Amino acid sequence: MSASTHSPVLKHHFDNLEQQHSAERLGMWMFLVTEVLFFSGMFVAYTAYRNLYPHEFHLASSHLLVWVAGVNTALLITSSLTMTFAIRAAQLGDRPGLIRYLLLTALLGTGFMGFKAYEYATDYHERLVPGPIFRGEYERAMAELHEAPAGQAGGHESRGHVQEWATHLARNNQGKAPGEAGYVSPERMQIFLCFYYIMTGIHGIHLVVGIGCVLWLVQQAYALKIPRENYSTVEVVSLYWHLVDMIWLFLMPLLYLAGAHLGKH
């Protein structure tokens, strides 16, 4: 009998390691299909609303922090590379290399979450939060415009720390009625923000789970539970990690590059 039938990592209900590895990959791929279906529903809903309210989505997108999204994209792409190196190290039985690349992957993922936390904090500080906070800031900007001296409404500087996006929106809507040409609906802008927080929030939760799985692999490697013949354990986790990275590559242009930030200029 082959060595693959006597490996300590072989589960009792499998005939050999090849069968076990195939079952592990199949199970993960089936799980990933459900994840794709889950996110696809959000992508379809976002696309439908963006087609209905393109100007509002473009204007709201123009006030997001594109540089943060760019840095986070670079971090996740690099993390996919280090995760691939981790698989190769596991295949070669290079335990120090495996641990090193897994830790780098977890560090890059943690860096992504750190920048995302900074972005959320900045959005909150700038009152870019759907609901009463958004409405209150917009109403303050409108009130400020009405109080401005005649002839200065279009060019005065904001007072009372009214956020730039609110002043921009108030100036655009001044003297216009809802439904009139050129009017930008604050309610529809908030629909975009709802998609933004829900989609990036759910993605962030998935990334935190991925970081936890990678750290679990580190623990398993330290405990000598990932021998060379069991590299598929790392490979299966990498499939999940790559999916999370791929989803971000769709989220980034959809949310941050809507309208190429023309509304901000």
DSSP calls for 9-65: T--TT-SSHHHHHHHHHHHHHHHHHHHHHHHHHHHHHHHHHHHHSHHHHHHHHTTS-
Contact 144, 170 (CB under 8 A): yes
Q: Which residue in 44, 48, 84, 54 sits closest to 250, CA to CA?
A: 44
Provide the Cα torsion 178, 259, 204, 97; round to 10°: 180
In this model, does residue 69 exceed pLDDT 90?
yes
The more confident residue out of 180 and 250 is: 250
Longest dimension (CA), the chain: 93
**Cα dihedral sign for 98, 103, 108, 110?**
positive
Two tokens, residue 93 = 């039985």
Instruction: Express each pLDDT in 179-235 by its tens digit.
Output: 888 888 899 999 999 999 999 999 999 999 999 999 999 999 999 988 888 888 899
Q: What is the pLDDT of residue 33?
A: 94
C-alpha to C-alpha distance for 198 and 45, rounded to whole angstroms? 12
Q: What angle do CA 244, 33, 24 make, to 5 degrees?
A: 85
